[in-house]
Amino acid sequence: MKHIRILFVCMGNICRSPLAEGIFTHLVAEARLTDRFTIDSAGTGGWHDGEPPDRRPTAIAGSHGIDITRQRAHRVRPIDLTRFKLIVAMDRDNVAELSRIAPPETNIRLFGDIAVGTGEDIADPYYGGPEGFEMAYTRLLTGCSSLLETLGVERASCSGNTSSVR
């Protein structure tokens, strides 16, 4: 299997994309495939550059055995658009913004298309309550598991902690 470079993107890089990065990284590690992937996340906006993920997705991830506390937000850089071979946006607004700034050959995909298969946007839970973050976790876990399969890898054997959704 060739090395795959994947970038998860949302608006500010403090909620959905760091959660997706954490979940996918965890699944890849469980499958013992860490050396085959480069995984990162970024935002289309730079308002939170250098900040850790929001406390709410950090707590949700932690409750499922995933640590995202070392991540730091950053805006998508021009080099990211050529360095990463697969750029996965959380919603259509982010796909549109990435398409506006990226070279035409950039592989930009909607998470709801490539990972979940429903074409849905992963809703931004930032202005909502805890249930929105749990829903985002659930959709991202489902999608990241499928994405690992789509990329030609046997589905990671999830620990009970990671695969459970309360």
pLDDT in tens, 121-162: 999 999 999 999 999 999 999 999 999 998 865 444 444 344
Tell me: the pLDDT tens digits for 19-42? 999 999 999 999 999 999 999 999
Selected catalytic residue, list 15, 16, 80, 121:
16
Catalytic site residue from 10, 56, 80, 121: 10
Global confidence as pTM: 0.91
| pLDDT value, residue 93 | 98
124 classed as catalytic: yes
pLDDT at res. 59:
97
Q: How many domains is the chain partitioned into structurally?
A: 1
Domain residue limits at 138 = 4-163
**Known catalytic membership, residue 16:** yes
pLDDT confidence tier of residue 2, bands split at 50, 70 and 90? confident
Q: Give the tens place of pLDDT for each residue, 62-94.
A: 999 999 999 999 999 999 999 999 999 999 999
Active site residue 5: no
Could you please report the per-residue DSSP string of the chain? ---EEEEEEESSSSSHHHHHHHHHHHHHHHTT-GGGEEEEEEESS-TTTTPPPPHHHHHHHHHTT---TT----BPPTTHHHH-SEEEESSHHHHHHHHHHS-TT--EEEHIIIIISS-------TTS-HHHHHHHHHHHHHHHHHHHHHTT-PPP---HHHH---
pLDDT for 1 equals 64
* Set 54, 80, 124, 139: catalytic member: 124
| CATH number of residue 8's parent domain | 3.40.50.2300
